[in-house]
Amino acid sequence: MLGESMLSVFLCFPLQNDDLRNLSLSGHVGFDSLPDQLVNKSTSQGFCFNILCVGETGIGKSTLMDTLFNTTFESEPATHNEPGVRLKARSYELQESNVRLKLTIVDTVGFGDQINKDDSYKPIVEYIDAQFEAYLQEELKIKRSLFNYHDTRIHACLYFIAPTGHSLKSLDLVTMKKLDSKVNIIPIIAKADTIAKNELHKFKSKIMSELVSNGVQIYQFPTDEETVAEINATMSVHLPFAVVGSTEEVKIGNKMAKARQYPWGVVQVENENHCDFVKLREMLIRVNMEDLREQTHTRHYELYRRCKLEEMGFKDTDPDSKPFSLQETYEAKRNEFLGELQKKEEEMRQMFVMRVKEKEAELKEAEKDLHEKFDLLKRTHQEEKKKVEDKKKELEEELSNFQKKKAAAQLLQSQAQQAGSQQTKKDKDKKNVRCAVEPKK
């Protein structure tokens, strides 16, 4: 987004450079309007601010946001039976005088509700990293448009501590430790009207000492610039801010003020004796909003970018301490990659050829087998055929023999018959003659 890119790019290295001449002006040149020119540009583009609220369900995150920004962000209270932590982000456009702010509020739904909270911090870390990743992707594009990029990186993380009055929960410590190198953490004690004033002081010191002893790096309000150093220093003493949120108004004196009404009294949100809400608003919005954005970009994002690029194998200097350019590294890696691709291709090709050969051999074997079988069969068949033919011949011989015999027998029989019939005929003839002769007598 324009703001970040301008701050990180346009501002040069320290002006106390030896080879620069200090010149004195003999008249009004007019470049003192530069900050205005810069600011005007940013104003016309609008600003982005993204807040992440981490805290248990029901601890007052949505109410606090409503109170901080004097409005009601539409939302329904979350239930307690979410299976895991998920993040819900919503964007709003606010305008005050000529300043347009694109505010994104990210909520952790279901944080602290599960029985097993081991992985509770993971979705949060993943979300933050995803925003950095999106920005990094845009930055690494060849054709990019960073100046009108909608920045979704989290600028501030409000960590809501439950008002137990004792100390931090282990879930709090673990989560904050995971987040402190990725985002500006501002710890706050929620629902602070449940703690008495003397207990509150003890609670605050306990929390701060626990944070220090566990090495959790929370956001430090900047003290390097004179105009804000004083107010930041005084406010830092009151960390973590004990806040009370409320969107309801109660009549106090002759004014309506945001407050919570109890039977025993009224807790005024904007009364500094009652809670630190005003301090939080001052620090978060009216004094350090720009610094929060800058820290996110120059510290947290750069760290992410460095880790990510190193993870991908890029280095700034090679073993000989000669600076690598990202180009050269990329070229080298690309060639390496291409080389490996080629090698793999070769391997695959060779394997393919080998396989083909094997298959060919196999097929040849099978073919040979088949041929042999065929030959065998053929021979067998021929043999059988021969046998059968032999048998046939035998049979035919037998048959012909039999026929001959039959013919001979028949001939004999017919001859016999003929002889017989001739005899009969003779007999008949004789008889006939006898008859013929006989009757004369």
Partner 1 sequence: MSDLVPEPRQKPVVPMKPVSINSNLLGYIGIDTIIEQMRKKTMKTGFDFNIMVVGQSGLGKSTLVNTLFKSQVSRKSSGWSREEKIPKTVEIKAIGHVIEEGGVKMKLTVIDTPGFGDQINNENCWEPIEKYINEQYEKFLKEEVNIARKKRIPDTRVHCCLYFISPTGHSLRPLDLEFMKHLSKVVNIIPVIAKADTMTLEEKIEFKQRVRKELEVNGIEFYPQKEFDEDLEDKTENDKIRQESMPFAVVGSDKEYQVNGKRVLGRKTPWGIIEVENLNHCEFALLRDFVIRTHLQDLKEVTHNIHYETYRAKRLNDNGGLPPMTVETEENHESNL
User: For residues 11 and 237, which CB has a smaller minimum distance to partner 1 in the complex?
Assistant: 11
Q: With CB under 8 A, what is the number of residues at the site for partner 1?
A: 110
Tokens of 234: 């005084």
Q: Is 95 in the site for partner 1 (CB under 8 A)?
A: yes
Backbone angles phi, psi at 135, to 5 degrees: -65, -40
Contacts of 327 (CB under 8 A, 6+ apart): none
The nearest distance, CB 290 to partner 1, in angstroms, is 4
CA dist 428 and 441 (Å) reads 22
CA dist 134 and 131 (Å) reads 5
User: For residues 171 and 228, which CB has a smaller minimum distance to partner 1 in the complex?
Assistant: 228
Angle between helical axes of 121-140 and 302-311 (0-180°, round to 10): 80
Q: Is 150 in the site for partner 1 (CB under 8 A)?
A: yes
- Binding residue for partner 1 (CB under 8 A) from 119, 248, 318, 336? 336
Task: Choose the stretch contacting partner 1; rule: CB under 8 A; options: 68-76, 199-207, 233-241, 260-268.
Answer: 68-76
Within 270-329, the residues that bind partner 1 by CB under 8 A are 281-282, 285-291, 294, 298, 302, 305-306, 309-310, 312-316, 325-327
Element at 240 (helix H, strand E): none
Tokens of 278: 């005003």
The nearest distance, CB 297 to partner 1, in angstroms, is 10
Element at 101 (helix H, strand E): strand 99-109
CA dist 75 and 202 (Å) reads 35
Q: Is 11 in the site for partner 1 (CB under 8 A)?
A: yes
Q: Is 91 in the site for partner 1 (CB under 8 A)?
A: yes
Within 382-401, the residues that bind partner 1 by CB under 8 A are none
DSSP 144-181: --GGG-------EEEEEEP--SS---HHHHHHHHHHTT
Q: Is 255 in the site for partner 1 (CB under 8 A)?
A: no
Angle of CA points 64, 68, 72, to nearest 5°: 75
Q: Where are the beta strands (DSSP E) in 145-276?
A: 156-161, 185-189, 241-242, 249-252, 255-262, 265-268
Radius of gyration for the alpha carbons in the chain, expressed in angstroms and rounded = 53
Task: Indicate the SS3 state at residue 360.
Answer: helix
CA dist 299 and 33 (Å) reads 29
The nearest distance, CB 248 to partner 1, in angstroms, is 13
- Binding residue for partner 1 (CB under 8 A) from 337, 352, 374, 402? 337
Q: Is 82 in the site for partner 1 (CB under 8 A)?
A: no
Task: Choose the stretch contacting partner 1; rule: CB under 8 A; options: 62-70, 156-164, 198-206, 357-365.
Answer: 62-70
Q: Is 170 in the site for partner 1 (CB under 8 A)?
A: no
Within 105-124, the residues that bind partner 1 by CB under 8 A are 106
Q: Is 402 in the site for partner 1 (CB under 8 A)?
A: no
Burial 51-70 (b: 16+ CB within 10 A, else e): bbbbbbbbbbbbbbbbbbbe
- Binding residue for partner 1 (CB under 8 A) from 130, 370, 376, 411? 130
The nearest distance, CB 174 to partner 1, in angstroms, is 23
User: For residues 139 and 358, which CB has a smaller minimum distance to partner 1 in the complex?
Assistant: 139
Q: Is 233 in the site for partner 1 (CB under 8 A)?
A: no
- Binding residue for partner 1 (CB under 8 A) from 141, 379, 385, 425? 141
Q: Residue 77 gets which letter from DSSP?
A: P
User: For residues 96 and 438, which CB has a smaller minimum distance to partner 1 in the complex?
Assistant: 96
Q: Is 127 in the site for partner 1 (CB under 8 A)?
A: yes
Task: Choose the stretch contacting partner 1; rule: CB under 8 A; options: 101-109, 352-360, 392-400, 408-416.
Answer: 101-109
User: For residues 130 and 408, which CB has a smaller minimum distance to partner 1 in the complex?
Assistant: 130
CA dist 396 and 216 (Å) reads 116
- Binding residue for partner 1 (CB under 8 A) from 77, 81, 83, 93? 93
